[in-house]
Amino acid sequence: MNSMRSKGQALVETLLTTVMLTVVVFAAIQFCVIIVNMLIANEAAFSVSRVAVVAANDEALKKNTQWAALFLLARHVSLGNFQFIPDDIPVDKKTLAACHKTEIQAYNAHLKYSSNIMFGRFLGGSRIYSIGTIHLLKGAACSRMIKSPDEKYYNKAYPDAAEFN
């Protein structure tokens, strides 16, 4: 009789422990995925702002930043697995200060993205939204860099010089 009771107790304890461990393990995995997505987004924002500050003009800025974003994010995005869904990366220009008639321009790269989360239905908050059965967590990353005030000398050293490339 005691043996039977012990076996029942072990079963209940195992069940409870398994349920709790499962929650903990999945939460840890989910946490890892969110962190990795955040790192990828920050890396992408960093690279895009780096490209923006060395772009020779607005046209080059738009084209090169798109290529940089595509190059970085393409490896992390797959059509079959929506773990990381990046949005557009707008780059805006902001004048920080003017010194000796020279404006100091900062370029801000903002990347909005979404991470697929497993138990979004049970979680609340304004940062979680759903598309069908997929629950997504909103995230954002940004990076700012200062551009050289003399961008017209990106391709040559002085007014009458031959171009570098």
Residue ranges binding other proteins (CB under 8 A): 21-22, 25, 28-29, 31-33, 35-36, 39-40, 42-43, 46-47, 50-51, 53-56, 60, 64, 67-68, 148, 150, 153-165
Residue 68 beta carbon to other proteins: minimum distance, rounded to whole angstroms: 6
Tokens of 135: 């629950």
Residue 132 beta carbon to other proteins: minimum distance, rounded to whole angstroms: 25
Residue 69 beta carbon to other proteins: minimum distance, rounded to whole angstroms: 12
Kindly calculate the radius of gyration of the chain based on its CA atoms and give it in whole angstroms. Answer: 25
**In contact, 114 and 85? CB cutoff 8 Å:** yes
Q: Would you give the distance in Å from CA 122 to the centre of its chain? A: 24
Residue 43 beta carbon to other proteins: minimum distance, rounded to whole angstroms: 5
Between 31 and 129, whose beta carbon lies closer to other proteins?
A: 31
Between 67 and 129, whose beta carbon lies closer to other proteins?
A: 67
Q: Annotate 59-107 with DSSP letters as a single string.
A: HHHHHHHHHHHHHHHTTT--SS--SEEE----EEEEEEEEETTEEEEEE
Phi, psi of 55 (to 5 degrees): -75, 135
Between 28 and 131, whose beta carbon lies closer to other proteins?
A: 28
